[in-house]
A and B are shown apart, each in its own frame.
Chain A
Amino acid sequence: MHIPDGFLAPQTWIPAAALAAGAWAWASRNLRERLDEQTVPRLAMMTALAYGLGLIMVPLPGGTSGHALGVALLALLFGLRPAFLAYSLVLLLQSLLFGAGGITALPVNALAMGLAGSATALILFRLLRPLHEPAAVVIAAWGSVMVSALLVALVLGAQPWIAQAADGSPRFFPFGWAVTLPAVLIPHALIGLGEGALTLLVWQYARRRRWMTP
């Protein structure tokens, strides 16, 4: 789901960078009040876990590969702002060290996965928690993957329409929504199930140790 460099037009990534800069500034405000001395090492550990999860590729039907995100467990354990910042760090390292996702695409990736993914996980969890807590965790994680995937597919599929050469051919990513929506969403519906199961395991472990801060 990490968008590489060269796939997004400047008309996309420059406004996204401005939006992400504002979101990073907002998330960083009063961070020390949200992260006490006991929370920081836990957040470090979960950030490292999310970083590792993003590097374990799982073969999927259709000849492609996918990986878990880990953003839902960050959001459920530490809240929206720390999760967004921590996941942005994960994306930056994956981009710099592995080329998994581009530097110019980092704002879009961070907004789609780090911010929208975290927000979706928290909203779904709080809505469904009164009904059945473990199911709420799984659905929150699945929903966070699907909303992130939807945003990435929409941004990618808009590129042929946003930037074209003189002859009308796409200058950056060549496929429209008819291709990107099914190609991104269908594999991630499967990835989301794995993400849900993994998030539930970690969440139960953290709950037994009373790690939750939100």
Chain B
Amino acid sequence: MKHLQAALKAALLAVALNATPTLAHEVHLSQQTTQAVLLELTYADGQPFAFEAYELYPAGAEMPAQVGRTNAQGQLSFVPGKEGQWRIKAFSGDGHGMDQMLQVQVSPSGTQSPPSQETDRPSRIILGLALILALFGAYQLWGRYKKRSATP
């Protein structure tokens, strides 16, 4: 009986001594309200770039600081900690996506930038059309000039 009690005490002691490393296998959750940056990725027609893979890198870093998938609204959020440049890479399996730098600002009141290229899209369309017509027009004029100068 004494041997059994001694063995039981030894077992309890071992459990007590190993209690801290055992607890390290648990995952703890804490919650806090803080300043985060919300990014929203959309296709050109405004459809969300939803459930697609992304990687976030601090400027110059080789390893991403955050990886994951956008949510159903094409959004992702991260806590930059301080102002600076970040690089975002986002991919879909069909080759859509982006790889670009962004300047992150931390302000208590929060800031919002307009979606890139959305505000002046019509003027870009018109500029592209004008460039096409101007290039072909110049080619036509050059052809006429060459033809005229070749004629004796």
Contacts and interface: CB of A to CB of B under 8 A. Distances in A.
Interface of A: 1-7, 32, 35, 37, 40-41, 43-44, 47-48, 51-52, 55, 57-59, 63-65, 89-90, 93-94, 97-100, 152-153, 156, 165, 173-175, 179-180, 182-184, 187
B117 A99 contact: yes
Interface in B86-119: 89, 91-100, 116-117
Interface of B is mostly: mixed
B50 A47 contact: no
A48 B47 contact: no
B136 A4 contact: no
B143 A37 contact: yes
Contacts of B125: 52, 55, 97
A93 B133 contact: no
Given A41-B136, A51-B132, A93-B131, A152 B44 contact: no
Most chain B beta carbons < 10 A, residue from A41, A90, A93, A153: A93
7 contacts: A4-B95, A4-B99, A32-B146, A90-B132, A94-B128, A98-B121, A179-B93
Interface string B141-152: 001101000000
Given A41-B140, A51-B128, A180-B93, A89 B135 contact: yes
A32 B44 CA distance: 37
Given A52-B125, A184-B95, A40 B44 contact: no
Contacts of A94: 128
